[in-house]
Structure 1
Amino acid sequence: MANQDWVSRLLTGRASVDKGLNVHLSERDGGSLHDKMRQAYWWITNNAVICPYYDIEFGGSASLKNSAGDEVHLPESMSYSSFVLIPLLTLFTCRRALLIGGPGRGKTTSAILMALLSGMSREDIRRSIQRGHPQLSIADLLGAPLPSDMLKADDLSAVKVSWRKWITQRVKIIDEYNRIPTKTQSALLSLMAEGYAEMMDQYVYAGRSSWFLTANDDQGGGTFQVIEALKDRLDVVVRAVPFNSNFIDTLLQRIEADKSPEEMLPKDVIFTDGELERAYASILEVDVPKDVLERVAFFLGQLDFCRMASPRFEFKHKDTLKLAGQSVSAVCNEQCPLDKKVHLCTQTENGVSVRAYQTILHYAKALAFFRGHTTVELEDFRQIAPWVLHEKLVPNTRSAFFEAKGHKVLLQDRVAWIRHMFDMAMEHHERHQPIRRKVSVLREELDKGLSGIDLRTTEKRLASVTALMNELLTKQELSGPVYEDLIHLKSMYSRYRNYATWLKDNPGGRL
């Protein structure tokens, strides 16, 4: 019976609502921040957004399958809805999320709920939402100089700018951002990227904040094309999901009670500024084990590689092609000896920026913290990476990989595609481990520093690095992981060579 009670509490969340939409709260399980985060998550999932799509799964899973190949996974551990969880993680990491989906799917409601969780009032939220439309000017978005000052001032420093109050709010909501004119998008980019806005030689600072932008789609369905730099500043994508008709009775209750989800949010799942700051700091303290970090790097590192991009070894990456106005699909052909069905480099037109690396690390830490863990697991990365890379990776649709049986459907769902790539990388990782261990040994030796190392020892280490590079070039296929290791080894070679040259020029010198 105790187990049944626990399951009942889990399914209903900490809060339940009766037919009159009166909220009843159960006792909180503990007083920690991640407990409060989970309580907020379950309340939103079961009472506000009503999202039965639990697509972020942990633990092993059984599965049910029919004769047509349709499969339902049944995870053995906790699972969560990305549509609710990722905005919540965005709130606590002070990142930028793009919510995509058709009209009436709950995108703006989800963003408003995040603002309410941060302690903002409903009135402040309504006034602070920036709604994209073709006539939105920079003054509408940021503010404008006071007319009286403009008439009286002798110089710009005497003109006071009346900044819009939303700029300094903890949570910022931009509705239908792809309907904002291009010039105004540039002003939004500066505020989002640099954290401040400038006008008439005066500045306003956004402070640490979470951004939630919405769009009905991100494929040109808005009034204006979104500038590439603005899209690149978005950290994560959240895909809205359709309403499940089995929960229509809940909609009827809302109509009869004449209440919206925002009006029912329990006060004790609202976070204070102090709690938000402590949660932010606690997330940063979550540990990432070295072996887990290395596996994630193994996946991300090979996406940039393109063997045919340049005859110069250092420029065999996709940025070289982009700068030349070329595409991967134009050079990824039979002239490249790599197996297109095995190597990840063929599947994407681009690689991953440093900003995306950092975002994945931050969200993985946040996901681990939300789950009550002090250490990030590989599965945390596996679950969060597709949402971070959703709008950052462009598939090479002409790759032979997508021609294989069952692979073409991956082009229709980027989350499934990116997760499939991640799984492929983990399968290849074990085979590459002996090589990477050799590289790591040399790197650890160099990381101890060069202070006090004599010329003879330096030359010996140079020989070891050169020998390993020669082994990789002559005995291994030049694939993405091998290329990463060779570039890494060459950087070590250069450091040792530069140091050896300095020792020769400064006999008896010490660093």
Structure 2
Amino acid sequence: MANQDWVTRLLSGRASADKGLNVHLSERDGGSLHDKMRQAYWWITNNAVICPYYDLEFGPSASLKTPAGEEVHLPEDTSYSSFVLIPLLTLFTCRRALLVGGPGRGKTTSAVLMALLSGMSRDEVHRGIQRGHPQLSIADLLGAPLPADMLKAEEMSAVKVSWRKWIGQRVKIIDEYNRIPTKTQSALLSLMAEGYAEMMDQYVYAGRSSWFLTANDDQGGGTFQVIEALKDRIDVVVRAVPFNSGFMDQLLQRLEADKSPEELLPKEIVFTPGELERAYASILEIEVPKEVLERIAFFLGQLDFCRRASPRFEFKHKDTLKLAGQTVAAVCNEQCPLDKKVHLCTQTENGVSVRAYQTILHFAKALAFFRGHSAVELEDFRQIAPWVLHEKLVPNTRSAFFEAKDHRLLLQDRVAWIRNMFDMAMARFDTHQPIRRKVSALRNELDKGLSGVDLRTTEKRIAAVTVLMNDLLTKQELSGPVYEDLIHLKSMYSRYRNYATWLKENPGGRP
């Protein structure tokens, strides 16, 4: 009876249990896929992980302040816990998440719950977990050729490899991945990046799947340094949170009942393979409005710019510095006239890859879908971007921006820092919009195609592009957004110039 009472309490909130321990989820959310996702989220938050840290906030909010200035935000809209929601979004987007935090914070438990939600059995999940340790070999990770075939085979293709079963699972869990030897990390990279592994001329394919990797910290504190290419393949970071002692009574109930939350996961929130595929497709169909996309681009496009990276205009970006073994900290000084308190380029040592752009859009779509919206809102992006960029952006700690007392604190929390950069960018967005609208108008004209455009019209368009470029160079400060516009305009100039050359060489011809 005591166990029965405990289960009833454990499954309270968004779910309840009858006397036969049959779980009944609230009908409040209806029956669609995103409603089922929300039901899964609330059950995990209230009953499994017990996470009272609601840090993904939406809507206007009031705030309470201490005399020293610390704020507690009280948003009017529903808030969510990143530690629960981001793994859930990873499950439905088939992406790769890194869960970081101290031992015993629930990282592996969270990953296991995601696997159980995908319909895997507890035995499948636990047998499939790959645990990093210094002796983990490629054979331990992927499998090995059969000894009998090795003795009999006259050629490589005759050797059959016994692949590990976890490779084909819908959810893959790599525990303490920073304790895996470097050579084995390379094999893991191939599987994550390319979706297949090769051994003895035999191949195995991972299929569409979600990855959950764990580490006790994200600062290289494991046994082995994680290779950069492997870190780059991680899409999003999830930070574990400490347990709130106000919920001590629930820990006591778990201990006395001798039951773990994963044993009591309601069947109603377990997804079938078909539901997972439909959710994946539905997320991709979520619209990203043009005005939201423009603001996202305005923020991300500034991060790569470095005015002093090169005298050559096309190479004024941070990749140039990296290839030369230089840092932004070494060149971002008083010789650069840009105001370090205003321009974002000074705050980062690097920009973001195309892969990161796509990942942010994918997670923003997933968050909008989870919230039951048909289109991405700017706040969806603002909330999710810091977690995607957490391991991808490196702060320039020597920037003059961080010399201010309040700004120095941002170096201790990358989520707060990245979100602050986003807010700084949005504060300047409207100021730059008149310029960007002119660039967009010229681009829209080009996007209509060049079929039927004569030489005279082409020359007029070249002149219009050149005039706007000259205005930007002479009347605007060469900042990140202006640099992006100039590169964009020069690409248009080159296309028109190449087309004009073709028309001159082929009078009367058709492109």
Task: Give the TM-score category using the shorter length.
Answer: over 0.9
Per the alignment, residue 124 of structure 1 pairs with 124
* 2:97 equivalent to 1:97: yes
Partner of 2:226, secondary structure, is coil
Per the alignment, residue 398 of structure 2 pairs with 398
Q: Distance in 2 between matches of 1:280 and 1:477?
A: 43
Per the alignment, residue 4 of structure 1 pairs with none
Per the alignment, residue 504 of structure 2 pairs with 504
Cα displacement (A) at 1:23: 4.8
Letter in 2 for 1:154: E
Partner of 2:406, secondary structure, is coil
Per the alignment, residue 204 of structure 1 pairs with 204
Letter in 2 for 1:491: S
Q: Distance in 1 between matches of 2:481 and 2:76?
A: 33
* 2:152 equivalent to 1:146: no
Structure 2 matches for 1:296-445, cutoff 5 A? 296-445=296-445
Identity of aligned residues (%): 88
Q: Which sections of structure 2, spanning at least 5 residues, go unmatched? A: 1-10
Q: 1:217 to 1:20 in 2, by over 3 A?
A: farther
- Are the equivalent residues in 2 in contact too, given 1:116–1:270 (CA < 8 A)? yes
Q: Distance in 2 between matches of 1:17 and 1:418?
A: 42
Deviations 1:395-418 (A, max 9, x none): 000000001231000000000000
* 2:188 equivalent to 1:188: yes
Q: Distance in 2 between matches of 1:286 and 1:255?
A: 43
Partner of 1:498, secondary structure, is helix
Cα displacement (A) at 1:280: 0.1
Q: Distance in 2 between matches of 1:241 and 1:303?
A: 29
Partner of 1:299, secondary structure, is helix
Partner of 1:308, secondary structure, is coil
Letter in 2 for 1:508: G
Deviations 1:336-370 (A, max 9, x none): 00000000000000000000000000000000000
- Are the equivalent residues in 2 in contact too, given 1:97–1:212 (CA < 8 A)? yes
Q: Distance in 2 between matches of 1:26 and 1:464?
A: 61
Deviations 1:69-128 (A, max 9, x none): 011000010100000000000000000000000000000000000000000000001110
Deviations 1:13-32 (A, max 9, x none): 42247999885533352110
Partner of 1:110, secondary structure, is helix
Q: Distance in 2 between matches of 1:469 and 1:192?
A: 43
Per the alignment, residue 4 of structure 2 pairs with none
Per the alignment, residue 458 of structure 1 pairs with 458
Partner of 2:311, secondary structure, is coil
After TM superposition, the score normalised by the length of structure 1 is 0.97
Partner of 2:214, secondary structure, is strand
- Are the equivalent residues in 2 in contact too, given 1:236–1:387 (CA < 8 A)? yes
After TM superposition, the score normalised by the length of structure 2 is 0.97
Q: Distance in 2 between matches of 1:12 and 1:407?
A: 42
Q: Which sections of structure 1, spanning at least 5 residues, go unmatched? A: 1-10
Letter in 1 for 2:222: G
Cα displacement (A) at 1:460: 0.2
- Are the equivalent residues in 2 in contact too, given 1:304–1:318 (CA < 8 A)? yes
Deviations 1:314-342 (A, max 9, x none): 00000000000000000000000000000
Deviations 1:269-316 (A, max 9, x none): 000000000000000000000110010000000000000000000000
Letter in 1 for 2:510: R
Q: Distance in 2 between matches of 1:23 and 1:221?
A: 42
Q: Distance in 2 between matches of 1:21 and 1:180?
A: 42
Q: 1:46 to 1:499 in 2, by over 3 A?
A: same
Per the alignment, residue 7 of structure 2 pairs with none
Cα displacement (A) at 1:221: 1.1
Per the alignment, residue 236 of structure 1 pairs with 236
- Are the equivalent residues in 1 in contact too, given 2:25–2:39 (CA < 8 A)? no
- Are the equivalent residues in 2 in contact too, given 1:21–1:254 (CA < 8 A)? no
- Are the equivalent residues in 2 in contact too, given 1:346–1:396 (CA < 8 A)? yes
Q: Distance in 2 between matches of 1:134 and 1:102?
A: 19
Per the alignment, residue 107 of structure 1 pairs with 107
Partner of 2:203, secondary structure, is strand
Q: Distance in 2 between matches of 1:294 and 1:443?
A: 14
Cα displacement (A) at 1:456: 0.2
Partner of 1:57, secondary structure, is coil
Letter in 2 for 1:127: R
Letter in 2 for 1:289: P
Deviations 1:225-279 (A, max 9, x none): 0000000000000000000000011111111110001001000100000000000
User: How many residues were matched structurally?
Assistant: 501
Q: CA RMSD in A?
A: 1.3
- Are the equivalent residues in 2 in contact too, given 1:49–1:110 (CA < 8 A)? yes
Per the alignment, residue 49 of structure 1 pairs with 49
Q: Distance in 2 between matches of 1:308 and 1:70?
A: 37
